[in-house]
Amino acid sequence: MHGDRDTQVPIVHSEVMFEALRDNGKEPEMFVAKGGGHGNMKGPGWENGEAALFEFLDRNL
């Protein structure tokens, strides 16, 4: 999960990790909050963030 307007941690960090996992035979998922910033799942872009998080946890735990 990463906001594409995060000014503290550039989204490229998540993109590089996603690609590295995929390139090593894993099946990563990435939720991008369009207009979202850093820190919490409130504000622009995060409207579906909580649902995406719980769906991921349900599938993987």
pLDDT, tens digit, 9 for 90 and up, residues 16-61 = 999 999 999 999 999 999 999 998 888 889 999 999 999 999 999 9
pTM score of the predicted model: 0.83
Q: Residue 20 half-sphere exposure, CB side, CA atoms within 13 Å?
A: 6
Instruction: Give the start-to-end residue ranges of the domains of the chain.
Output: 2-60
**CB of 36 closer than 8 Å to CB of 4:** yes
**CA dist list (Å): 20 to 15, 17, 40:** 9, 5, 25
| Encoded amino acid at 7, one letter | T
3-state secondary structure of 6: coil
Q: How far apart are CA 54 and CA 58, in angstroms?
A: 6
